[in-house]
Amino acid sequence: MASNIKLNSINLGITKYQLFCVLAASITIVNFGWNLVVINQPGDIITMCLAGPKHSIDGLPSCIPATDLAWGVAVGSYSIGNLIGAIACTWFSNKYGRRFVLLHSNTIGLMSVPLLGLSVNIPMFVCARVVSGIAQGAANGTFSTYVVEITTPHARNSLACVLELAVNVGMVLAMLCSLGMMKPPLWRGLFSLTGVLCLISMNADITKEYEQIIMATVRYVRLKDILR
């Protein structure tokens, strides 16, 4: 009888497999925190053009001249992308699964890397921030549901805190890296490091998917066939 209680998922705590899946998925959330604050510290270096607005290094301008309003739009454009990603992720995660969204949000994130690293004006930089925001917003909106669905009741409360922890880890990493990269052309590499996090996340083997999501997708397809 005791052995049956131990094997019952209701009484099961955090397993190594659950912990691995949650930590692997949380890399996308670290990226969310990174992009949230990475723009803050080097902002003056990017916009004030201390070496002159026409100064360039390796063919790229060493700064991006911008007014306070334009720079504010560049900073806030990430949140606009987050909103788009958070709205879109529900449909995609219900149709294809949480794992699909968490993994493929990194593909969208990688699309923003060339734009961030090679930006020559504010419109280009804003577009890059929006694309990055869509990727991280979709991952952030899916992560909590993923954790709830793959964990046992006893593990759920403990592992739910990984979301906030991962966001703060990303923010701290961004601030620490910014300390040594707040000069041209290093600030371009600072923004491009989001691609490194995307690649790490894509290579982390998130293998667990919630069975009910798979079954719900099957039932949805069958119901459509019946209604036709």
The pLDDT assigned to 148 comes to 85
The pLDDT assigned to 52 comes to 62
Q: Tell which wins on pLDDT, 219 or 171.
A: 171
The pLDDT assigned to 32 comes to 94
The pLDDT assigned to 124 comes to 93
The pLDDT assigned to 7 comes to 53
pTM, whole model, 2 decimals? 0.82
Q: Model confidence over 202-227: pLDDT tens digits? A: 887 665 555 444 444 444 444 444 44
Q: What is the Cα Rg of the chain in Å?
A: 21
The pLDDT assigned to 106 comes to 92
Is the pLDDT assigned to residue 62 strictly greater than 50?
yes
The pLDDT assigned to 191 comes to 85
Per-residue pLDDT band for 5 (boundaries 50, 70, 90) equals very low
Dump the DSSP string for the chain: -HHHHHH-GGG----HHHHHHHHHHTHHHHHHHHHHHTTTTTHHHHHH-TT-TT-EETTEES-----HHHHHHHHHHHHHHHHHHHHHHHHHHHHH-HHHHHHHHHHHHHHHHHHHHT--SHHHHHHHHHHHHHHHHHHHHHHHHHHHHHS-HHHHHHHHTHHHHHHHHHHHHHHHHHHT--STTHHHHHHHHHHHHHHHHHHS------HHHHHHHHHHHHHHHHH-
Is the pLDDT assigned to residue 85 strictly greater than 90?
yes
The pLDDT assigned to 219 comes to 46
Q: Model confidence over 178-193: pLDDT tens digits? A: 888 888 778 888 888 8
Is the pLDDT assigned to residue 8 strictly greater than 80?
no
Nearest Cα neighbor of 143 from 222, 33, 60, 1 is: 33
Peptide bond into 185 cis (omega under 30): yes
Residue with tokens 């019946």: 226
Report how far residue 228's alpha carbon sits from residue 222's, in angstroms, rounded to the nearest whole number: 10
